Amino acid sequence: MGNPEPQTTEPTGATPGLLERELEPSSRVDEITDRLVTAVAIGEYLPGSRLPAERELAASLRVGRMTVRAALARLVELGLVETRRSGRSGGTYVLQQWPESSTAAVGRTLTMRIDELRDRCDAICRIHGAVCRAAAEARTDRDLVVLRERLDAYRRAESGLAAQQADSALHLAIMDAAGNTVLKQMLLELEASVSIAAPAHLWGESATMRQMELRALREHEQLIDAIAGRRGDDAEALARAHLAIDFEHISAAMRRAGGLAD
């Protein structure tokens, strides 16, 4: 026997809050839609990238798969993503980053979370600094070979998605060189809490993207040099300054959306 349809009005004598609970799924879809729109707008998922599977998104966002499915359907309607059904290349792919229709959602999402995001980004800077200090102290010659290979891959990557993927690979190699799985897991979980999924970092808007990538390259080179030279103090300071880029992107998005992030 199927479940009865939910009532659309609260009957006399119903438990207080029943109507709100019945309406929660719709409001929850609104919230998750805004978060996904924002993740795309601020460059966590760049055009051409594939979003995580519904199950992964549901776990990251702590909602049911039906909520995620409904939110993704709205992104399709907005023209932000498309769904491909064939074979290994199937999935949901980003088509465009920040059309004007996304601005209100970005403003709502970041305004609601800005204080929390500021604190989380600060914590990421501090923990990443500790990871890079540990890498400088513990790295092996083999680690150094991998780090330089990943740095060169970032240097050669095309702007946008390829550079973002190369950046993630480099930072994962630094975490591995630190030789501390607990620190690595803490950092990955904290990075995931800033937006939707780790280890991809926010990549900002297309207008400033290449400038940011070149700045990141200079900072990557300095950081790997410090790790190679076993200069723990320098590695920690460089890493903390470098990871501040994430909150700079959030602040820039707030300004574009009409909010403030001083």
Is residue 95 very low, low, confident or very high in pLDDT (cuts 50, 70, 90)? very high
Q: Is the pLDDT of residue 40 over 70?
A: yes
pTM, two decimal places: 0.84
**CB neighbours of 202 closer than 8 A, spacing ≥ 6?**
42, 43, 44, 194, 195, 245, 246, 249, 250
Beta bridge partners of 97: none
Q: Is the pLDDT of residue 21 over 50?
A: no
pLDDT value for 174: 98
pLDDT value for 191: 87
Nearest to residue 250, comparing CAs of 218, 203, 196?
A: 203
Distances from the Cα of 59 to the Cα of 43, 52, 90, 144, angstroms: 21, 10, 20, 35
pLDDT value for 98: 96
Across residues 124-138, what is the average pLDDT? 97
pLDDT value for 46: 94
CA distance 52 to 165: 14
User: How much of the chain, in percent, has pLDDT values that exceed 70?
Assistant: 88
Task: Report the chain's mean pLDDT, rounded to a whole number.
Answer: 88
**CB environment 202-216: b (16+ within 10 A), e (fewer):** bbbbeeebeebbeeb
Q: Which of 18-32, 80-94, 116-130 has the lowest mean pLDDT?
A: 18-32
Identify which has the larger pLDDT, 176 or 87: 176
Across residues 133-151, what is the average pLDDT? 98
Asked if 72 and 81 touch (Cβ cutoff 8 Å), the reply is: yes
